[in-house]
Amino acid sequence: MKPKKLIFEKFSLNGKKLSSDVKILHIYFVAMLGFILAGIVNIFVSNGNAIYDMLIPNMNNHYWDLITSIFHNYAGMPYEEGVIYPPGANIICLLLSKMFSLESYMDGINAMRDSQIGMLVIMWFLLFTVTLFISLICYQFQGTRAEKLCLVLTILLSAPYVREISKANLVMVSVICVYIFILFKDHESVFTRVLAFVALSAAVALKIYPVFLGILLLREKSAKKIWGCIGCGIVVFFVPFFVFGGLHGVVLMLQNIFNTTSIFNDSGLGFKIDITNTINIVGDLFHYGGNIRRVGTCFNYIFLILGFVMSLFVQEEWKAVTLLSLLTLSYPTFSGSYGILILVPALIMFLNTKPGITHENMAYILLFVLLFAPMFFGGQNILPALDGEVRINLFTLTESVAIILMEMMLIFDGLIRMICLVGKKIKMK
C-alpha cells in the first residue's frame, strides 16, 4: 500500500515532475563545472584579481588558522594566550608544535609558517585531511567511477574548500569526524557504532557546534545510543582539558570565545556566514544600526529552536542532516565560509536518493550549488558602504542568503509534516 502524499507535496514546491530524462545529479554537475570553468577563466583574465577576496593576500595570513594555533600551543598554555578552540584542537596543535625548534618559535608566527618545517607540516596536514575526505566521499557516493571523479572535482574546487586550503583551518578535521559519525552511526557492528560516537565527540572537541548533529540520534528513539554518545562526548571533550591545567580551562575558553566574538562582531567582515552577520549587513546597509542587530540575534535563536524541533519531523534523513548542519553554520556568531564543507555528507545523501526533477528538488540543488559554487568574480567591492577589514564579496553574500533560504525551506517542510501528524492523531481520537 503506497503512503499518502503529504499536504506539503500537493501545494508547495514538489508538484509535477519536469522531466524524466535529466537527473538532478547532472544538473548539479553542469552548474558546478560551469562555475568552476568560468571562475578559472576569470582568474587568468584578471591576472589573479578575481580570486582576491577569497584569499585576502594583502593580510599575509595564508595558512594562518593552523599556524597560529600551533604557535599558541607551543608553551602548552593556549587558553592563557587567548585561544578559542576546544581542547581537542589544542591537543592536535600541541603535538604538531613539537616539530618546531625553540628558535623558530622565538622568531614569531610568520617565521614558523615560512620555514621549511612549517611548510612541511602544513602540507602534511592538507594532504592527510584531503585524502581522508576524498575516501569518505567515494565510500558514500553511489555513482559510477566517472561520477565519483566529477563529484570529488566539484567539491575540491568549491569555494568553501578553496578557502579551507588558504587558511588550513582545523574545521576540516571536525568535518571528517562528523562525516564518520553520519556514515556509521547506524552500523550493525557495535564497535563501529561506538567509533562513530567517538568521532562525533571528537568533532565537538574540535569545534563545539557539531554537537547539534547528535539530535539525529533522537530521531531513532534509541536511549542506548543517546546515552552512549553523551558518555563518549563528556569524556572526549573534558578529559583533554587536564593537559592544559585542568577544568579551569573551560572558563578561560569561554572568556576567550566571548572576547573574540565581540572583537569581530562587524558586518564588514566578509568571510562570516552566520545569520546574525547576514542580518547585520542589511541593517548597516540601510543604517538601522543597533535595532537590526537585536533583530538578528532574535532570528538566530528562533531559527535554532525551530531547526532543532523540525529536524525531528522532516521525513527524509538527508533533510535532517542538512538542517542540523546548517544550524552549525548559522548559529555561531563567528562562522567562516569554509564551515560549509560540513554539508558535503548531506549533499551526497540527497544525490544518493536519485531525486526526480521536481520543483522542490530543483530548489534544493540550486541552493546547494550556490553554497559550493566557486564564484571567482571578485576584485570589486559589491557593497562599498560596508567596507571593513575583509570586504563583502559575492560568494560570501550568496552563501549567507542560501543558508537562510535552505533553513526556511527545511523548517517549513518539517512544520507541515508535524501539522499532518498532529491532524492524524486528532482524527484517530
> Which of 167, 144, 168, 141 minimizes the C-alpha distance to 155?
141
Tell me the sheet residues that pair with 272: 336
DSSP state of 2: P
pLDDT of residue 140: 96
**Cα 275–chain centre separation:** 13
CA–CA distance, 401 with 190 (Å, rounded to integer): 40
88 touches 237 (CB < 8 A): yes
Contact 157/374 with Cβ under 8 angstroms?
yes
Cβ burial 29-42 (10 Å sphere, 16+ → b, else e): bebbeebbebbeeb
Longest distance between any two alpha carbons in the chain, whole Å: 76
Identify whether 32 is part of a domain.
yes
CA pair distance 268, 283, nearest whole angstrom: 12
Q: Are 306 and 408 in contact (CB under 8 A)?
A: no
Please provide the size of the chain in residues. 429
DSSP state of 107: T
Provide the 3-class DSSP secondary structure of residue 358.
strand
At 32 the pLDDT is 95
Crossing angle of the two packed helices 290-310 and 394-428, in degrees rounded to 10: 50
Distance CA 145, CA 180 (A): 22
3-state secondary structure 254-300: HHHHHHHHHHCCCCCCCCECCHHHHHHHHHHHCCCCHHHHHHHHHHH
Grid coordinates representing 213 are 548533529
**Separation of alpha carbons 357 and 55, rounded Å:** 36
| Rounded CA separation 169/167 (Å) | 5
Report the first-to-last Cα separation within the chain, whole angstroms.
23
Residue 97 lies in a domain: yes
C-alpha cell at 417: 509534516
Domain range enclosing 205: 7-428
- Whole-number pLDDT of residue 16: 46
Residue 1 lies in a domain: no
**Could you tell me the mean pLDDT of each successive run of 10 residues in the chain, 429 residues long?**
41 44 85 92 82 66 88 90 90 93 88 91 95 96 93 94 90 95 92 94 93 92 88 92 89 87 60 75 67 74 91 94 94 82 96 91 95 76 54 76 93 93 82
* Structural domain contains residue 244: yes
Residue 312's Cβ-count burial label (10 Å; 0-12, 13-18, 19+) is middle
Query: How is residue 157 annotated by DSSP?
Result: T
pLDDT of residue 375: 81
Nearest to 410 by CA among 317, 311, 281: 311
User: Looking at the domain assignment, is residue 251 inside a domain?
Assistant: yes
- How far apart CA 363 and CA 98 sit, in angstroms, is 48
> Of 252, 254, 276, 282, whose CA–CA distance to 264 is shortest?
276
Residue 41: strand, helix, or coil: helix
Number of domains in the chain: 1
> Does 2 reside within a domain?
no
Given this model, what pLDDT does residue 18 score?
46
Amino acid at 316: E
- Which of 76, 83, 69, 58 minimizes the C-alpha distance to 169? 69
Given this model, what pLDDT does residue 300 score? 82
Pick from 263, 266, 271: which is nearest to 53 by CA? 271
Secondary element (H or E) of residue 18: strand 17-19
